Amino acid sequence: MHSSGLMMNRPLLISGLVQHADENHGDSEIVSRLPNGSTHRYTYHEAHHRSRQLARALLALGANGDDRIGTLAWNTHRHFEIYYAVSGMGAICHTINPRLFPEQITYIANHADDRFVFFDLTFAKLVEALIPACPGVKGWIVLCNRDEMPDSATPNLYCYEELIAAQSADYKWPEFDENTASSLCYTSGTTGNPKGVLYSHRSTLLHALAACLPDSLNVSACDCILPVVPMFHANAWALPYISALTGAKLVLPGPYLDGASLYTLIEEESVTFAAGVPTIWLSLLQHLQAEKLRLSTLQRLMVGGAAAPLSMMQTFDSYGVALIHAWGMTEMSPLGTINAKKRKHLTLTDDEKNHLRIKQGRTPYGVQMKIVDANGQELPHDGKVFGDLLVRGPWIVSHYFRSENVSPLIDGWFPTGDVATIDADGYMQITDRSKDVIKSGGEWISSIDLENIAVAHPAVAEAAVIGAPHPKWDERPLLVVVRKPGQKVSRDELIAFYLGKVAKWWIPDDVVFVDELPHTATGKLSKLTLRQRLREYRFPDVSGNLI
C-alpha cells in the first residue's frame, strides 16, 4: 500500500481557466471578426461575465447535467463563451463541423442526442434542413443580435444576445469530478460513420498545460494568438483554452479565412502566433507574394493536420516567420508531437536542420508512442524503419462515444492509422496514412514525400500523389498537379524533377494536370475523393497505349 499525498484535491475544471484569465488578465483582449463583417472587441473580464450569463440562460431554458449542446459556428467571441458556459456548467459542448455533408451532420447531432444547438447565421439554410431531421433538439439558438434574427416560423428559435441580456452574471461555477465529460468532437469519418471523441475536464486541462510549454506551442501572456484552425476542428488545437490559461490576446477570424483577410487581421491586431492546416498558409503565402507584402509582427506559425512541405517552411523563413510542424488527431485532443529543437541541434548545418524540421516532431510529456510491424512487434527507433504508429496518454481516447463496449485500443495503445518512423532522438516522421501509402511490388512508397518534392517546383501550386492500379506492380504513384496561375510545366519536366531526389522506383509513372484538388471538411487533401475521380485512370505504356 502507498500512502496518499497530503495536498489539496482541487479538481482540474475548464471553468477555472476563464476564471483565472478574468482574475489575472482581465483587461487582455479578445478580438473577433463576425460573420456580419463587423469587428467585435472586448476583454477576458467581459468574456467571463457573459459566459456566466449564458450558463444561466441555458439553465433557464432547461439544459442540465450531461446534456450535449451543439455548435455550428465560426471562431468568434460567442463560440468562446459557449465553450466555457457549457463545459463550465457541467454539460457537454459538442462542436459540429458545418462543412460536413448535411446527412453526416444529421447523423452526428442525432447520435450525440444534442438538446440545444447554437448556430451562426451563415448556417441558417443548413439548420432549416436539420430541424425536421433532429427532433431531439429542443432549441436552436442564433448567434446574432435581435435585429439580425432570421424570418422564420420555427417556434423554438432563440436569439443569443437576447438570451444573454435577460440574465445576470450572478452564477458560481459548480465544482465536480474532473473526470466529468466536457466536450465532444466527431472525427471526419472518411471511412464509415463519424465517431465521437468525448473529452473530460481533466484531459482538456492536462492537454492545455502541455500544449503551452516552450517546446510545444510556446504561448505566453506577451503573445497575440490567432487560431485559424476552426473551433469545430479538434478544439481549435486547444487555443481557446491556452489563451485563457496564459492570458494571451486572442484574435478570432470568423468566417474570413482567405489569405487577404488573414493578412489584414494579422497586421491590424499585431498577431505573433497563428495555427492552421497547410492549405491556409499556402493561401496566405500566395497573397503575400502576389501583393509583395511583409509581415511585421508574426513570429511563429503552427502547421498540422497534414504534412507541411519544406519549401513552404523555407518561403516563410524569407518572411522572418518560423513554420513549426506538429502532428495530432481529434482522438488525441489533438496534440501528439511538435517539432522543437534540442540543445544539441543548435549547431546543425542548414541541410541538417532542414532534414530535422520536416519531421512531425517529438512528444511532449504525457504522450508516449511506438511503431510496430504487421504482427504487432515493436520496431526500432532508427529514423528509417517505418511501421504502424501507436500512442497512449491521459488526453488520448479510450473508447468512442456510445461505443463503450468496443475498445479501439491494442494492449492499451491507440492505433493512429498512420505509418511513421521514429528516430533515436524521439522525432517522429509520418510516412503516410496507412490507407494512402502506395504499395508497389510489395514495397511501400510515401505519397507525402513525393508531394513535398512536387510542390517545391516553382510552377506547382498544389500536388497530390495516389497509388493507381498497375498490372505488374499492383500500384504505381500517379502525380496530380495544380499549376500556379500563368505557369507552364510539362509532364516530362515534372518527372525529371524527381531525378536524384528519391530512389528511381519511387518516381511517379505519370502526371495528371487538374484545375483544383478536392479537400475534406477540415481543409486537407481528400485522397478518397481524388481516387474516386481518377478511378478510370490507366497508365500508358511506352508507346502510349493504356495498360
- Encoded one letter per residue, x for contact with ligand ADP by CB under 6 A and - for no contact, window 169-208 reads ------------------xx-x------------------
291 is catalytic: no
In the list 87, 104, 416, 447, the residue contacting ligand ADP (rule: CB under 6 A) is 416
Q: How far is the CB of 112 from ligand ADP (least distance, A)?
A: 17
| Binding residues for ligand ADP restricted to 206-265, rule: CB under 6 A | 234
Residue 195 gets the label, from left (phi > 0), alpha (psi -120 to 50) or beta, of beta
Which one of the listed residues 29, 106, 148, 444 is annotated catalytic? 444
In the list 88, 304, 387, 467, the residue contacting ligand ADP (rule: CB under 6 A) is 304
Within 10 angstroms of residue 490's Cβ, the number of other Cβ atoms is 11
Backbone phi, psi, residue 442, to 5°: 85, -5
| Binding residues for ligand ADP restricted to 18-77, rule: CB under 6 A | none
Q: How far apart are CA 144 and CA 150, in angstroms?
A: 10
Q: How far is the CB of 520 from ligand ADP (least distance, A)?
A: 6
Which one of the listed residues 76, 95, 180, 187 is annotated catalytic? 187
447 scored as a contact of ligand ADP (CB under 6 A): no
Which one of the listed residues 125, 342, 353, 439 is annotated catalytic? 439
Burial of 442 (0-12, 13-18, 19+ CB in 10 A): exposed
Q: How far is the CB of 339 from ligand ADP (least distance, A)?
A: 9
125 is catalytic: no
Nearer CB in complex with ligand ADP: 255/304: 304
Stretch that binds ligand ADP, among 69-77, 127-135, 156-164, 412-420 (CB under 6 A): 412-420
Q: How far apart are CA 456 and CA 436, in angstroms?
A: 21
Which one of the listed residues 331, 359, 363, 431 is annotated catalytic? 331
Helix (H) or strand (E) holding 211: helix 201-212
331 is catalytic: yes
Enter the DSSP assignment of 236: G
Q: How far is the CB of 195 from ligand ADP (least distance, A)?
A: 10
Please count the residues of this chain forming the interface with ligand ADP, following the rule CB under 6 A: 22
473 is catalytic: no
Report how far apart the first and last C-alpha atoms of the chain are (Å, whole number): 70
- Encoded one letter per residue, x for contact with ligand ADP by CB under 6 A and - for no contact, window 427-446 reads ---x--x-------------
Whether the bond into 102 is cis, omega within 30 of 0? no
Nearer CB in complex with ligand ADP: 262/303: 303
Q: How far is the CB of 19 from ligand ADP (least distance, A)?
A: 30
With contact defined as beta carbons under 8 Å apart, do 35 and 255 qualify?
Answer: yes
| Binding residues for ligand ADP restricted to 325-384, rule: CB under 6 A | 325, 327-330, 360
Nearer CB in complex with ligand ADP: 247/305: 305
With contact defined as beta carbons under 8 Å apart, do 515 and 482 qualify?
Answer: yes
Stretch that binds ligand ADP, among 77-85, 103-111, 320-328, 340-348 (CB under 6 A): 320-328
Nearer CB in complex with ligand ADP: 186/506: 186
Nearer CB in complex with ligand ADP: 203/330: 330
Q: How far apart are CA 131 and CA 129, in angstroms?
A: 6
With contact defined as beta carbons under 8 Å apart, do 518 and 530 qualify?
Answer: yes
Q: How far is the CB of 97 from ligand ADP (least distance, A)?
A: 8
The cell for 61 is 431554458
Q: How far is CA 333 from CA 182, 211, 280, 371, 406, in A?
A: 12, 10, 21, 20, 20
Q: How far is the CB of 27 from ligand ADP (least distance, A)?
A: 34
- Encoded one letter per residue, x for contact with ligand ADP by CB under 6 A and - for no contact, window 517-536 reads ---x-x-x------------
In the list 11, 415, 417, 518, the residue contacting ligand ADP (rule: CB under 6 A) is 417
Helix 44-61 / helix 15-25 crossing angle, nearest 10 deg: 150
Enter the DSSP assignment of 206: H
Q: How far is the CB of 194 from ligand ADP (least distance, A)?
A: 9
Q: How far is the CB of 414 from ligand ADP (least distance, A)?
A: 11
In the list 208, 229, 251, 307, the residue contacting ligand ADP (rule: CB under 6 A) is 307
Residue 382 gets the label, from left (phi > 0), alpha (psi -120 to 50) or beta, of alpha
With contact defined as beta carbons under 8 Å apart, do 268 and 112 qualify?
Answer: no
By DSSP bridging, strand 322-328 and strand 300-303 are: parallel
Backbone phi, psi, residue 59, to 5°: -65, -40
With contact defined as beta carbons under 8 Å apart, do 65 and 91 qualify?
Answer: yes
Nearer CB in complex with ligand ADP: 99/491: 99
Cα 382 to its chain centre, rounded Å, is: 29
Within 10 angstroms of residue 507's Cβ, the number of other Cβ atoms is 20
Rg of the chain over Cα atoms, rounded to whole angstroms, equals 24
Active site residues: 187, 331, 439, 444
Residues forming contacts to ligand ADP in the complex (CB under 6 A) are 187-188, 190, 234, 304-307, 325, 327-330, 360, 416-418, 430, 433, 520, 522, 524
